[in-house]
């Protein structure tokens, strides 16, 4: 009997024989788990967590009872709290049913490649948080003013532009008497928006710090900035720890609804992730987390609600209304975020149900609302956001591309990590492939150290484009089984597939193939993106784009020619197709460093018009046409020279 297994956050999945250990399953599916002892059950490093509840990807429940009972070996090596939280050692645990396994960061031997960088931008330094040094009049028997009054008077006397109704955060009051005396009545007050004292330190302190965080559905990227200079001091990232509860936002919303403590668990999970990043950033910069005075968060609308502990269920139901659209300022202590207790958490505004602050962050970074050119901006992720227009009119929408473009839902798909095939090209005559894996500088060589273990998003786009260009698949996505290449075959289920890497070339001991099902998954994802873009263009009143901007990790690593050949987006001069990296992260940094950009963010959120493309009368017909490679009707003059060379596919009857 076979059991279904999903490993998160890698997204690797497959079937294994009942009774296999979790470590054996991980090795078979290409999931790297720390196991210095080689599985001899003596190191205790292969810790994993068994998740419980209904899993859409399994179409079944996952439960601790679906694995073998806790062993004495595990009892010796796991802490009582870990055992209560369903942690197990992968080498000791046998699979007895369908199971979802989360591999915590400390147990991962291969780190996910997360895009943290954006493009070089000129950042204006005008933060909401600033330091103000004052020398206070010491208390005396003749002067009976309290310490807080002395501090406010000293600040207002020296800095006349401060708010006359200046207040002091409660957490500052708790240590105020000790701090002012430790500094011998000379202190540095950290003020938010020139209105509230949110931190206080003895003596002169020049630097103040903030953190910008882009909370993606799959990954979280964070940036520690010096708010006095605008310099990014450190940056770090991690997989979104919520991924164990679902790969897409709808799965997480469903989990939050179906589990009594679902929302609380999802909320606490992402807060802990953010705190982990803040701790790592602060340690790397040599500062204390309490010195971080402000944080800017951007995320999609569902992640926004979950991170703020707001019930997201209505975001997932028609008419997809968010609980709040305006930007928010929240005390760090109210969210449990480990920066200065009086520190501020700023959340950029929401556009609509499935277009959130992360898209607003992209807009204030790229500024299409200030330009004449008709720009198409696509932030490709598990949930794709699309913007089209210029300063006259700006439209936006979201589309459920699903995780296929990031490697999930693909038989040998994986997220970007060492061993993932990231680039592919096929010989047009022999149909033999060349490929490059992440971690190796050159195209595959039999002697290379890092062997292939799967295919990531950029490699998937390349191989689908190459299969189309060489006639292995036709415009409908169907395999041409008349090809004589040994790499085109039928699998055990009699379904067509293409062998990209033979088993001896891989680290997983099996052939890496691209199946008919994989092609269909990419067709669905690319059709969703293309249809969203075309409907926005039609609403705007044009059938052409002047430029295409690809944001996010996926957009930064894909071959833009391959993307256009399969029709991932409407035709455009490839010279005007540009990747801008993590533009959402850039927008978060911009808002952190310049408070005026927060005002602009709200203005842009109000200016952009959200379009619910799925209710458009021609959505279905547009989607069907977009399923074709590159499209059923639309022309692609900028890659027509490539399309003209594609052999005609003749199917057997």
Sign of CA dihedral 555, 382, 267, 279: negative
340 near 196, Cβ under 8 Å?
Answer: no
Residue 469 phi/psi, 5° resolution? -65, -30
Name which of 477, 516, 471 is nearest 642 in CA terms: 471
Return d(Cα 543, Cα 537) in angstroms, integer.
6
Mutual orientation of helices 583-593 and 357-366 as an angle, nearest 10°?
A: 80
For residues 31 and 108, give the distance between their C-alpha atoms in angstroms, rounded to a whole number. 8
Distance CA 559, CA 226 (A): 35
* Residue 473 backbone dihedrals phi, psi, to 5 degrees: -125, 150
Smallest CA-to-CA distance from 170 within 199, 133, 193 is with 199
- Three-class secondary structure of residue 87 per DSSP: strand
Query: At residue 353, does pLDDT exceed 60?
Result: yes
Distances (CA, A) of 372 to 378, 538, 610, 650: 18, 18, 20, 46
Task: Say if residue 118's pLDDT is above 60.
Answer: no
Q: What is the pLDDT of residue 116?
A: 47
Angle between helices 595-607 and 583-593 (to 10 degrees): 130
> What pLDDT, on the 0 to 100 scale, is given for residue 439?
87
User: What average pLDDT does the chain have?
Assistant: 89
Token pair listed for 184: 């011998």
Cα–Cα distance between 121 and 211 in angstroms, integer? Answer: 18
Tokens representing 502 are: 């033979």
Among the residue ranges 103-117, 158-172, 264-278, 557-571, the one predicted with the least confidence is: 103-117
Residue 531: per-residue pLDDT: 94
Residue 119 pLDDT greater than 60, yes or no: no
Confidence at 279, pLDDT banded by 50, 70, 90:
very high
Nearest-angstrom CA–CA distance, 437 and 507: 12
424-454 pLDDT per residue, tens: 999 999 999 999 999 888 998 888 888 898 8
DSSP state of 373: S
Tokens coding 610: 């959200």
Give SS3 for 19: coil
| Cα atoms in the Cβ-side hemisphere of radius 13 Å centred on 86 | 16
| Residue 337, SS3 per DSSP | coil
Strands 433-437 and 344-347: unpaired
Please report, to the nearest 10 degrees, the dihedral formed by the alpha carbons of residues 349, 353, 355, 357 taken in order: 20
Kindly tell me if the per-residue pLDDT of 97 is higher than 90: yes
Question: Where is pLDDT greater, at 556 or 254?
Answer: 254
Q: Reduced to 3 states, what is the DSSP secondary structure of residue 378? A: strand
Q: Which pLDDT tens digit goes with each residue over 216-246?
A: 888 899 999 999 999 999 999 988 888 777 7
**Residue 653, pLDDT above cutoff 50:** no
Tell me what percent of the residues of the chain surpass a pLDDT of 70: 94
Which two three-digit tokens encode residue 510?
Answer: 């099996």
Band (pLDDT 50/70/90 cuts) for residue 522 is very high
Indicate the helix (H) or strand (E) that contains 257: helix 249-258
Q: What is the pLDDT of residue 189?
A: 95
pLDDT at 117 over 70: no
**Lowest pLDDT segment from 285-289, 563-567, 645-649:** 645-649
- Determine the average pLDDT of the residues in 598-627: 93
Residues 6+ positions from 602 with CB-CB distance below 8 Å: 326, 327, 349
At residue 108 the predicted structure's pLDDT band, cuts being 50, 70 and 90, is confident
20-56: pLDDT as tens digits: 999 888 878 878 787 656 577 876 778 899 988 888 7
- Check: CB of residue 307 under 8 Å from CB of residue 215: yes
Which pLDDT band, with edges at 50, 70 and 90, does 104 fall under? confident
* Contact indicator for 525, 512 with CB cutoff of 8 Å: no
Structure tokens at 99: 């199971």
Q: What does the DSSP 8-state code read for residue 452?
A: B
User: What's the whole-number mean pLDDT along residues 370-375?
Assistant: 94
> For 417-431, what is each residue's pLDDT tens digit?
888 899 999 999 999
CA dist 156 and 120 (Å) reads 38
pLDDT of residue 166: 94
Radius of gyration of the chain (CA): 27
Q: At 407, is the pLDDT very low, low, confident or very high (cuts 50, 70, 90)?
A: low
DSSP 102-129: E--GGGBSS---------------B-SE
3-40 burial, b for 16+ CB within 10 Å, e for fewer? bbbbbbbbbbbbebeeebbbbbbbbbbbbbbbbeeebe
Q: pLDDT band for position 457 (50/70/90)? A: confident
Contacts of 108 (CB under 8 A, 6+ apart): 32, 33, 34
User: Cα 19 to chain center, whole Å?
Assistant: 34
H or E segment to which residue 33 belongs: none
| Stretch 142-163: mean pLDDT | 91
- Where is 463: in which H helix or E strand? helix 457-469
The CA angle 248-254-258, to the nearest 5 degrees, is: 150
Query: What confidence score (pLDDT) does residue 354 get?
Result: 76
Q: What is the DSSP string of 560-613?
A: HHHHHHTTSS----GGGEEE-S-HHHHHHHHHHHBHHHHHHHHHHHHHSEE--G
> Could you tell me how far CA 30 lies from the centroid of its own chain?
22
What pLDDT does 120 receive? 63
Helix count (H) and strand count (E) of the chain?
18, 29
- Kindly report which listed range (317-326, 471-480, 492-501, 510-519) carries the lowest average pLDDT score: 317-326
What's the mean pLDDT in 389-395? 95
Beta bridge partners of 579: 550
The predicted pLDDT at position 106 comes to 65
Distance separating alpha carbons of residues 247 and 58, to the nearest angstrom: 12
Q: Name the burial class of residue 175, with classes exposed (0-12), middle (13-18) and buried (19+) by CB atoms within 10 angstroms of its CB.
A: middle
């Amino acid at each position: 009997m076979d059991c279904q297994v999903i490993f998160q956050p890698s997204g690797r999945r497959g079937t294994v024989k009942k009774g296999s250990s979790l470590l054996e399953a991980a090795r078979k599916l290409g999931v790297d788990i720390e196991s210095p002892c080689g599985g001899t059950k003596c190191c205790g490093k292969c810790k994993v967590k068994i998740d419980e509840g209904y899993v859409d990807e399994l179409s079944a429940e996952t439960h601790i009872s679906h694995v073998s009972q806790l062993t004495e070996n595990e009892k010796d090596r796991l802490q009582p709290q870990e055992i209560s939280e369903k942690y197990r050692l992968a080498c000791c645990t046998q699979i007895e049913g369908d199971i979802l396994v989360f591999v915590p960061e400390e147990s991962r031997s291969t780190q996910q490649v997360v895009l943290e960088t954006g493009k070089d931008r000129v950042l204006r330094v005008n933060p909401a948080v600033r330091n103000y040094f004052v020398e206070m009049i010491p208390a005396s028997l003749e002067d009976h003013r309290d310490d807080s009054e002395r501090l406010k008077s000293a600040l207002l006397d020296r800095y006349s532009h401060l708010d006359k109704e200046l207040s002091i955060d409660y957490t500052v009051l708790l240590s105020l008497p000790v701090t002012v005396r430790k500094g011998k009545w000379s202190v540095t007050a950290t003020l938010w928006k020139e209105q509230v004292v949110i931190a206080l330190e003895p003596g002169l302190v020049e630097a103040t710090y903030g953190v910008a965080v882009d909370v993606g559905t799959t990954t979280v990227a964070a940036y520690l900035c010096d708010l006095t200079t605008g310099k990014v001091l450190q940056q770090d990232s991690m997989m979104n720890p919520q991924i164990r509860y679902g790969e897409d936002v709808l799965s997480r919303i469903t989990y939050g609804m179906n589990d009594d403590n679902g929302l609380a668990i999802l909320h606490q999970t992402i807060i802990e992730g953010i705190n982990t990043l803040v701790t790592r950033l602060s340690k790397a910069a040599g500062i204390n987390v309490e010195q971080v005075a402000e944080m800017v968060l951007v995320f999609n609308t569902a992640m926004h609600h979950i991170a703020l502990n707001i019930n997201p269920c209505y975001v997932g139901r028609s008419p997809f209304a968010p609980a709040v659209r305006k930007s928010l300022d929240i005390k760090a202590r109210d969210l449990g975020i480990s920066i200065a207790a009086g520190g501020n958490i700023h959340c950029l505004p929401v556009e609509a149900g499935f277009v959130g602050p992360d898209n607003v962050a992209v807009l204030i970074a790229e500024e299409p609302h200030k330009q004449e050119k008709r720009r198409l901006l696509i932030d490709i992720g598990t949930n794709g956001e699309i913007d089209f227009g210029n300063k006259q009119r700006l439209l936006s929408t979201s589309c459920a591309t699903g995780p296929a473009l990031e490697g999930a839902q693909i038989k040998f798909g994986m997220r970007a990590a060492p061993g993932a095939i990231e680039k592919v090209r096929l010989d047009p005559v022999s149909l033999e492939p060349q490929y490059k894996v992440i971690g190796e500088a050159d195209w595959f060589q039999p002697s290379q150290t890092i062997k292939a273990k799967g295919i990531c998003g950029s490699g998937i786009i390349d191989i689908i484009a190459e299969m189309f260009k060489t006639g292995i698949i036709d415009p409908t996505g169907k395999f041409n089984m008349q090809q004589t290449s040994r790499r085109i075959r039928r699998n055990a289920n009699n379904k067509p597939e293409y062998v990209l890497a033979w088993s001896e070339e891989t680290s997983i001991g099996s052939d890496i193939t691209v199946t008919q099902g994989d092609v269909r998954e990419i067709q669905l994802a690319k059709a969703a993106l293309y249809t969203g873009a075309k409907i926005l263009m039609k609403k705007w009143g044009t059938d052409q784009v002047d430029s295409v901007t690809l944001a996010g990790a996926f957009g930064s690593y894909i071959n833009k020619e391959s993307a256009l050949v399969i029709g991932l987006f409407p035709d455009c001069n490839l010279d005007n197709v540009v990747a801008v990296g993590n533009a959402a992260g850039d927008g978060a940094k911009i808002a952190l460093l310049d408070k005026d950009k927060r005002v602009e963010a709200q203005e842009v959120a109000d200016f952009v018009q959200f379009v619910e493309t799925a209710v458009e009368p021609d959505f279905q017909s547009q989607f069907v046409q977009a399923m074709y490679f590159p499209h059923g009707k639309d022309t692609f003059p900028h890659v027509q020279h490539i399309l003209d060379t594609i052999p005609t596919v003749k199917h057997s009857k």
